[in-house]
Each structure stands twice: as structure tokens, then as C-alpha cells.
A and B are shown apart, each in its own frame.
Chain A
């Protein structure tokens, strides 16, 4: 595949150079009879090229939408995600409508009114009515979009004090993530990077009684249909916690705690078995298989087959390994979540263990 593509590129480059050399010759021979200002023939040719170009643009747009629309993320796996997608599709529809019309007018006029000897341009300096119309139309349309957008925005960002919400801290560092569950009291213990020591890798305040039942994990498990309130904390530089499948993102800022809340609605199992994902994973594995063949031929290890899992990734440049800073997310039924969280060790317990170890080693 890659070899083929390289050949295509080289062929295209060759073509470009060949064309350029031809054009150079062409331009040299016409130098003597031209003052380098567009003449009638130029106007005509360039006018036709305008039509050719707008056709190319339409084809490119059609091709892109036809082939790559399915690259859009699968159905949103969070409650607010549905509103997000609706607003997104309305906006895309609207801008593509304007795009198709204005590009057509632009290039069609460029073609239709291409210069010709004896043509007289219309002296048309202004028209208040027309200008008023195309000021007021965007005003109305944008007002609609703004109002719709702002309602959705305040729905998403206004975090109500929900007793039921699960409080989880997402902790970012170069180059990974940790999750801290608040335990039975549903309150996170105090934390600061100044408490980092030994096994206390996220800097929880050992003297805070709320911290005893906190649970620190390397995977993020979430119960389905229960609101989750995320508190974000960074250890070193800016990161951004990006949950594409949940239409959620928040920067993680050292020195302050940022927050975001959403309710997952589709479990990992359901997402894996959705029609979209089954097709997608099949296609991905096909690509991986082909790539593996190449790799094996070169004496490398083949790629593992892929199975879909939700993930959290870093979306703010944070250093050399920014491109590989991820955490697996599992959305599951409440009871599965409860049994998983029960297995995790509480912060107080791991602290105790550490003390004991110290004592025994000192003896």
C-alpha cells in the first residue's frame, strides 16, 4: 500500500515537473508578443477555467462527504451528546447550503462576465436595499444559531449540585492519566502536588479523613445512566481531557481544578455491538491485517487485531509523548461498576500497607 502510494506521489511529482518545463518553454515563446496583461484569449480561457474549477470544488466536496462522512464519530454516548450532534448537523447543513450557493455565484459570475473586447461593465456603486437584505439575513440566521447554541451550552456547563452524581477526579501527568474515585462519602480528599511521596503518586493529603476511602485507578470505569462530575487536576503542564465519544472536553490546568459533567448512556458492550462499530472495527482490522503483512515481510511484529474501547486522550500539546497519552474508559451497568470498584484498593488501605512494609523492613 505504502509503496504504491509513494509511486503515485513520485509519478505526480514527475508529472508536475514535466508540466512545469513545458510551461516554461511555452511562456518563453510568447514573451515577445505580449505585454503580460491579460488579453481577450486569456480572459476567455481563464473564464472557462473558472467553471472547471467550481466543478472540481463541487466534486471534491461531494467526494469528501460521500467517502468520509462515516468518519464522523458514532452516535454520542452521553446524554447531552444528542443535542450536540443535532446542533452540529443543523450547522453543517446550513453552512454547506451557503457554501454551495456562494461558490457557484462567485465562479459563475467570474465565468459569465469574463472580459471581452467591446464589453461595457455596469457602473453599479451601491444599492442600500440589497446591502440591507444581506446584512439582515445573516443577522437573523446567526441569532437563531446563537440562541440555540447558548441554550445547549448552558445545559452542558451548568453543573447542578446533584446528590446522585458520581464524583471522579481525572489526574493528568506527562504522559498518562489516573482516575481517583471519591469512595463511599462521595467526597474527594484534599490533594496537592506537594503531598506526592512514594506510593502517594497523585498527592492526596494523608491527614484528610475524606481521603481515606478514595480509590486511585488506571482505568476509568463509569456506571451507565448516572451523572458523573469530573474534577480535573494536572501535575505538571497543561493537558486537555478529551472524551470524543461523549462529546466532552476540558483542559487540565496545573494550579486549578476544572470540571465537566456528563451522563454516559451507552455501555461499552452496546457500543461494540452497534452496527456502526461492528463495520468500523471490521474495516480497521482489514487495514491492520494488510499493514501486518508488510511488517512481517520486513521482519517486524504483526499488529494486534483491534477491539473497540472508549478512550480518553490528551488534546493539548504537553511534551514529547503527547501523541500517546491515553486511558481506557469502560461504561458498564451499575452492578458491574459496583463490583469493579469494590475490588479497587482504597487510599487508606494502601497507605497502611506501606507503613507495615516500612515497619517490617526496619525490623
Chain B
């Protein structure tokens, strides 16, 4: 850079925003800086994740050793929820319900897409911040409020919501039907309503930012796949979350104001209720109109992160960039017209069942394209085995394993006998739970240097990955078999059916793997916290990556770039591109060309 250029940059910088003094509160707490908000989302998400995973361990212990006393229950559930150290059935149902809610919404939606949309969108498209920093801040604070309300529901007298995370009425509407449907359910609904509000604020912000604030030269076809995924995720969120809000509002009215949207002909506790004419099936439609796209809201960011991490660490362009974008769009579109596959045996018209089978199995096509493209990206690469890369490869593996069983569940015929069994649990935990968590971990390991200016310890990362990878398969692969044996989900104990007695040892194996897998997450937590303060100082571009976030200084500054925003001249995947003579890389001795490097004389211009 010449001296005159520097002067111009300084001038430009001055115009953009005057320097204002930051206090501790504006910097760390009520921050409007997208990087700080991203970190706030991440840490809140991780805390919620630890709680959610811990809950799953509690009920897994009950499932492996049903109705046996344990000090663990006495300690964490207390006398109220465990009689003489034996978990009560209502505690079990509450735990599965809150585990599901926390993991799906608070960890994998807000913790994953909230974190990386905030961190990556401005940095990777070349913007100084989000379109509305204030709305962004509001979004986080409403998220935190909603998390606190959800957690506070654990402590109410009648217990937290316990009608399953899908909260189907009438069970969720009638405190007479289950104690958790009292105050606990009210808090659940309030918390979710706030959650939806924060999600919409965030999503609208992401969409506007991606559309309007890309830097010069950053055309849509030059966007990194992570941005494509986060952008499309935000659109799905805007389309589908309001529908859940309407369902929640109607449920609130049924519960508190005597309306009958979802209730009809009910006789409970010796009394006929006045409700007449509503239908629980309507609720199922509304719930899954969000519920299914939600799966992709969870998964697409993970796939986007993986695309980015795999390309960088393979030192190769992602294979089939356009096909990857097309797959994201196809998945997003199809995701909004498949919700009925959760309802094949709900009493819905069988003809609808056939339509939903058709649309559901169509999703397998873009998913297959994505998997094949990932595998081809590895082919003839120069794979740098950083922890983020390992988690990305792990994601592709679990995405395939879990996705394939979707072919069975998406088929209305086959769904009849495995619906709501452990087969379903195994399927969705692999394809969206574990896969999305791997995406989250891949993102954290990869962008940790960008977030905290320090590196995470790679050896601890390796241990974390391999134990998790073995453990996750150990938990969920055997689970398919007990599902095939016809074992229903959400059973407090299976001992009332002697026919299930021979499944007990499989349940023990699953629980042992689950405990080990959960414990090894402590390694991650240790690594995460330790590295924030004592990690090795990161260099500017530790992974030799092409995308714009690595052109910003290690020290965070408000506005991201100290000078002018870089211009973009190429797509983000020029890894190992050779010069015209094929004698060396385009930039001699360097196997990557960042997006802000203009087209060189010795390279061929390719359209991707």
C-alpha cells in the first residue's frame, strides 16, 4: 500500500463514524457491535446447551436403570421430583420436554444461527455492522429474557411444562390432564413468544444486511456458502416462526380465555368441559408448519459452516458451488411443504399423506447432492486436520446416517409402525441434533481466533472430537433397533411391558455412551474458557482462508476494518488455483487467494 492510499483510508474512516468512548457497559453488556452480540449468543447458547445435555443424562439414567434410587436424582431433583432418590414420572416427562425445547430452540437455533449470523454476516460480506445494531442488541436481550423465563419455569410449584416439546393440546391446555400444564406451561408459552420475537428481529436484520450491505464486487454468486446458508435460514425463519406464534397465541386463549381452537368434547376429572368444535389436528398443522422448517433452520447454518471449513481445510474449492447454492434454496423451499410427514397417523386425510410423502422424499435429492459434493471436495485435497475440519467431516457422516433413515420415516407407509418410537429419536438426533452440534463446534473451533483473538488448544479439540464421534454413534445407532422393536418414546419406564425386557441391556449401553459423551464436553468447556484467557495469540489469518473476515485485524474494532472496506474481486474458493502455465500457484508459494486480491495477469478467469 502506498502512503497516499493510507491517507485516503484514514480520511474515509473518519467520515464513516466518529470515535466515541466506550464504557464497560456499552462494550460488554449493552453492546450494539455484531461481534460482541455474536459472542453473547454463543455463550448463552452454550450455557443452555450444558443444561439441556445434563437433563438428557438424568432421564437416560432412569431409562437404563428404571426406578432405581440414585444420589444424582436426590441431589438434582430433590424430594419433590424424586421419592427416596427414585425419579418420579412427572419429573421424567418434564425433563424430556425441557430438554427438547432447550436443545431445539435455545441451543441449535439461537446458539448456532444467532451466533454465526451475527459474527459472520457483516464480516464476510464486507460491512461495518448489521443494518440495525440497536435491533440486533434488542434481539439478544429478548433472547436472554426468554431463556431466563424458560429456566425459571423449572422452579414453579406445579412443575415445568411436561407435554413434550411439541406441546400438543389438549394435554398442554388442561392443567387437569397433567400438572405441568399449569403455570409451567404458561411460562413456556411466554418464553417461546419472546423467543419468536427475538428470532424475527434477528432474521429481518440478517436479510436486510445481506441484501443491502455487501461490499463492492461482492455479488450474490461471490458470497461464501456460509452466508448463503445463514441468509436462507433467516428467510425460512421469517416465513415460519410467525405461524408458531399464532399457534401459541391460540393455545394461550384456549387455556386462559375459554376459546375452543384446539379443544372439543373433553371429559376429564369427572367433568365435561364446555369447549366444543376445536381440533388438536389444527394445532399439529400450525406447530409443524414451523416445526419442520425449524429442522432446516437448525441444520442449514451447520451445513454452511461446514462448507466453509471443509473448503478452507481441504485447500480446495468447494465442489459444485452453484449446485450447493441451488441445494440450499431447494431444501429451503421444500422444507415449507413437508410438515405433514409428522402427521401421517394423526387422523389427517390419507390423500394428504401421499402428497407429503412425495414432497418429503424429494428433499433427499438436494441433501444427496450436498453430501456427494462434500465428499468430492475432500477428493484429491490436502486436508488440514484442524479440529473444525474434523467436526465438519463428522457432520457429513452423521448427516448421511441420519438422513438415510429419513427415507423410512418420510414414507407414509413405513411411518405407521415406527412413528413415535425410538427409531424417530435416533433419526432426528443424528440428522439434526448431532449434525447441527458438530456444525456449531466446527464453527467455534474455526472462528474462535476471530471471536477472541486466541487459538483453542488443538489436542484437546482432537480428544473432544473423537470421543464425541464414537459416543454419538454409540448412543444413536443402537437406538434404531429398539425403535424397530416397537418401543414408544416418552415412556418413563418400559418394565410394564415384559415384552420389552430384552431391550433393557441396549438401553444400558446407550446410557453409558451418553454419559461418556456428555463428560467429554467438559473438555470442550475447559478448552473454551481457558483459551479465551490463556490461549495462544492468534495470527490474522491462521487457517490461510480466503474470506473477508480474515482481512480484519485480530483486535476487534468497532466498524471491523480500520481503513476502507476491502473490495471483492473473486469468489471465496480460490484455493490451490494454478497459474496459466500450471507451474505454480497463482500467487507463487501461496495456495490461497483472498477475495480482496484483484485478478492476476497469470491467471485464467473462471466463472463458477
* Interface check A102, CB cutoff 8 A: yes
Contacts of B320 in A (CB 8 A): 125-127, 131
The answer, yes or no, to whether B213 is at the interface (CB within 8 Å) is: no
A35 → B minimal CB distance (Å): 6
> With A60-B473, A238-B171, A284-B498 as given contacts, are A68 and B481 in contact (CB-CB < 8 Å)?
yes
A95, B508: Cβ atoms closer than 8 Å: no
- B577 neighbours in A (Cβ, 8 Å): 123
Contacts of B379 in A (CB 8 A): 109, 113, 122, 124
Contacts of B578 in A (CB 8 A): 123
Is there a chain A Cβ closer than 8 Å to B470's Cβ? yes
- State which of A31, A156, A323 has its C-beta within 8 Å of the C-beta of B536: A31
Picked from B171, B323, B364, the residue with its CB within 8 Å of the CB of A138 is B364
Q: Are A9 and B502 interface neighbours, CB within 8 A? A: no
State how many angstroms separate the Cβ of B544 from the closest Cβ of chain A: 9
B265 at the interface (CB under 8 A from A): yes
State the CA gap A237–B578 with chains docked (Å).
66
Asked if B315 is an interface residue, CB under 8 A from chain A, the answer is yes
B554 at the interface (CB under 8 A from A): no
> Is A2 a contact of B345 with CB atoms below 8 Å?
no
Cβ-based interface call for A337 (8 A): no
8 A Cβ contacts from A254-285 to B: 254-256, 258, 280, 283-284
Chain A residues whose C-beta falls within 8 Å of the C-beta of B470 in the assembled complex: 53, 56
Q: Which of the 9-residue segments A211-219, A220-228, A241-249, A348-356 touches chain B?
A: A241-249
The closest CB in chain B to the CB of A143 belongs to B361
Total interface residues on A, using CB and 8 Å? 134
Measured CB to CB, the nearest residue on chain A to B406 is A95
* Partner among A17, A30, A42, A251 whose Cβ is within 8 Å of the Cβ of B345: A251
Query: Is there an interface contact between A316 and B417, defined as CB atoms closer than 8 Å?
Result: no
Distance A324 CA – B495 CA, assembled complex (angstroms): 9
Contact B458 A149 (CB under 8 A): no
Shortest Cβ distance from B509 into A: residue: A5
With A122-B316, A149-B414: A287-B501 Cβ-Cβ less than 8 Å: yes
In the complex, chain B residues whose CB is within 8 Å of the CB of A36: 455-458, 535-536, 542
Which positions 454-506 of chain B face chain A at CB distance < 8 Å?
455-460, 462-463, 466-467, 469-470, 473-474, 477-478, 480-482, 484-486, 488, 490-494, 496-499, 501-504, 506
Q: A76-109 toward B: CB 8 Å interface, digit per residue (1/0)?
A: 0000000010011001101100110011011101
Q: Which of B15-23, B125-133, B136-144, B397-405 is near enough to bind chain A?
A: B397-405
Judged by a CB distance under 8 angstroms, whether A250 is at the interface is yes
* Stretch in B112-120, B239-247, B294-302, B382-390 touching the partner: B382-390
| A residues near B389, Cβ cutoff 8 Å | 38
Most chain A beta-carbon contacts within 10 A, residue among B376, B383, B389: B383
Q: How far is the CB of A93 from chain B (nearest CB, A)?
A: 11
A193 interfacial contact with B, CB 8 Å: yes
Is B396 positioned at the interface, with any CB of A under 8 Å from its CB?
yes
Interchain CB contact under 8 A, A196 and B272:
yes
B408 adjacent to A92 (CB under 8 Å):
yes
> Does B386 lie within 8 Å of A37, measured CB to CB?
yes
> Is B561 close to A, CB under 8 A?
no
Contacts of B573 in A (CB 8 A): 125
Q: Are B383 and A37 in contact, CB atoms less than 8 angstroms apart?
A: no
CB of B56 within 8 A of chain A?
no
Q: Are B504 and A35 in contact (CB under 8 A)?
A: no
A318 within 8 Å of B by Cβ? yes
Q: Which of A49, A152, A154, A237 contacts B170 (CB 8 A)?
A: A237
Question: Interface segment, A20-28, A182-190, A339-347?
Answer: A20-28
Does B588 reach chain A (CB closer than 8 Å)? no
Whether, in the assembled complex, A170 has its beta carbon less than 8 Å from a beta carbon of chain B, the answer is: no
Those of B328-387 within 8 Å (CB) of chain A:
345-347, 350, 353-354, 357-358, 361-362, 364-365, 368-369, 371-376, 378-386
Contact between A255 and B488 (Cβ–Cβ < 8 Å)?
Answer: no
Known: A237-B174, A256-B281. A126 touches B508 (CB 8 A): no
A91 vs B494: C-alpha distance in the bound complex, in angstroms?
28
The 0/1 profile, CB within 8 Å of A marked 1, for residues 492-534 of chain B is: 1110111101111010100010011001101100100000000
* Complex interface: chain A residues within 8 A of B30 (CB): none
Let me know if B322 and A126 touch, CB within 8 A: yes
Chain A residues 66-80 with CB under 8 Å of chain B are 68-69, 71-73
Interface size class of B (residues with CB under 8 A): 35 or more
Expressed in whole angstroms, the Cα–Cα distance for A344 and B279 within the complex equals 34
Contact: A71 with B350, CB < 8 Å? Answer: no
Given contacts A23-B460, A123-B578, contact A99 B400 (CB under 8 A): yes
Beyond A125-B606, A247-B417, whether A283 also contacts B460 by CB under 8 A is no
A109 (CB) vs chain B CBs: closest residue: B378
Among B163, B267, B281, the residue within 8 A (CB) of A236 is B267
Which has the most chain B C-beta neighbours within 10 Å: A156, A253, A306? A253
Residue of A nearest to B458 (CB): A36
- Let me know if A316 and B405 touch, CB within 8 A: no
In the docked arrangement, what's the CA distance between A72 and B462, Å?
37
Q: Are A107 and B397 touching (Cβ within 8 A)?
A: yes
B576 pairs with A122, CB closer than 8 A? yes
Q: Name the one of A34, A99, A153, A314 contacting B357, with C-beta atoms under 8 angstroms.
A: A153
- Our pick among B365, B384, B478, B516 for the contact of A139 (Cβ within 8 Å) is B365
Q: Are B369 and A149 in contact (CB under 8 A)?
A: no
Known contacts A36-B456, A253-B280, A322-B492; A49 and B413 CB within 8 A of each other: no
B492 lies within 8 A of A73 (CB): no
Alpha-carbon distance A27/B393, docked complex (angstroms): 23
On whether the beta carbons of B316 and A153 are closer than 8 Å, the reply is no
In the complex, the answer to whether A113 meets B93 with C-beta atoms within 8 Å is no
With beta carbons under 8 angstroms apart, the residue of B279, B376, B503 that contacts A256 is B279
Residues of A within 8 A of B163 (CB): 317
B265 and A254 contact, CB distance less than 8 A: yes
Closest B residue to A280 by beta carbon equals: B502
B425 CB, nearest partner CB in chain A, Å: 13
B411 near A149 (CB under 8 angstroms)? yes
B residues in contact with A308, CB < 8 Å? 499
Which of B314, B416, B462, B480 has the most A CB atoms < 10 Å from its CB?
B416
Show 23 A/B contacts (Cβ-Cβ < 8 Å), sorted by A: A13-B519, A20-B523, A36-B457, A37-B384, A38-B389, A71-B503, A71-B506, A94-B407, A95-B407, A110-B378, A115-B315, A122-B381, A123-B316, A123-B575, A145-B407, A146-B357, A174-B268, A236-B267, A237-B174, A248-B416, A254-B263, A254-B265, A256-B347
Closest 9 CB pairs of A and B: A255-B264, A244-B486, A46-B385, A157-B350, A36-B455, A258-B347, A193-B267, A68-B481, A323-B491
Interface residues of B (CB under 8 A from A): 64-65, 68, 89-90, 93, 163-164, 168-171, 174, 177-178, 263-268, 272, 277-281, 314-317, 319-323, 345-347, 350, 353-354, 357-358, 361-362, 364-365, 368-369, 371-376, 378-386, 389-390, 393, 396-397, 400-401, 404-405, 407-408, 411-414, 416-417, 419-421, 455-460, 462-463, 466-467, 469-470, 473-474, 477-478, 480-482, 484-486, 488, 490-494, 496-499, 501-504, 506, 508, 512, 515-516, 519-520, 522-523, 526, 535-536, 539, 542-543, 573, 575-578, 591, 606, 608
